[in-house]
Amino acid sequence: MLKTIYFIPGTMCDQHLWLPVWNLLREKFHEDYQLISLVIPSTGCMDEVVSTLSDQIIENKAILVGFSLGGYIASAIALTLGNKLKHLLIVSNFPKDLPLAEIKQRKRTIDWINQRGYSGIPNKRIDDLLHPNIKQFNAQGYQDIKQVIVAMDKELGVDALLHQLSVSMHRPNLLPLLAQLTLPITFLVGDEDNLVDLVSLKQDLKQEQQGLDHIMLQEVANTGHMLPLESPQALTTMLIHLLTS
């Protein structure tokens, strides 16, 4: 049976997010498999987004990978498809409801864009997404990653940004429901991810697991939020493990 991995990108990301991982995977893993990048719909509420993408996952026992917002969407899809999937890999995301402060910040961002327009992702936002010391230990890597982020943001445009910010603003905590599945689930999170509270994630996983061993957390060293671009080797290694297990 042909092995399939479906990928769901995050906010203002497209298939270019996965290219470093795909290139490494093709170098290191030579069995038959297919890689499919799904596109987050640009209209509809969260339930409609989840339903649309669920319908596109037609292969049985596929691996589903979701990054950031895509990790939340992938979690919701897993609750719909259940054991049709082989494994759920959540990258740089904690599928919980947003804190009140984050909701307020998103509303301010949306209001600002509606009033003043959008001229592209700010440099400060890019820096916040990456390891705080990446300019020191990987200056060229920083420039390369920044170029990819800017290009994806420009390609998708302001309408996609506004929709993705609003559609994901009010969302339920999916962790208790995920814990009830028998589907194997792995969280892959950078140790310096400013958008994922690792301490809370560890506490909540410990509370939800209660002796269950189908949910695992793996930290990736020297990595911020943009894990597929900052540490493609770690994600590739994880995917090879899932393909061969």
pLDDT given at position 208: 72
Instruction: Count Cα neighbours of 80 within 13 Å in the Cβ-side half-sphere.
Output: 18
In a domain, 176, yes or no: yes
- The CATH number of whichever domain residue 190 belongs to comes to 3.40.50.1820
For the chain, the first-to-last Cα distance in angstroms comes to: 14
pLDDT tens profile 158-217: 999 999 999 999 899 999 999 899 999 999 999 999 999 999 888 888 877 665 678 999
Task: Please count the structural domains in the chain.
Answer: 1
Assess whether pLDDT exceeds 70 at residue 89. Answer: yes
Q: Identify which has the larger pLDDT, 59 or 2.
A: 59
d(CA 73, CA 81): 12
d(CA 57, CA 194): 31
The model carries a pTM of 0.95
In a domain, 155, yes or no: no
In a domain, 172, yes or no: yes
In a domain, 28, yes or no: yes
**pLDDT confidence band for 2 (50 / 70 / 90):** confident
In a domain, 135, yes or no: no
Mean of pLDDT values over 4-23 = 98
Domain that holds residue 235: 3-99+164-244
Q: Which residue has the tokens 């905590």?
A: 173
Q: Which residue has the tokens 């020191």?
A: 136
In a domain, 133, yes or no: no
* E strands in 44-159: 62-67, 85-91
In a domain, 154, yes or no: no
In a domain, 200, yes or no: yes
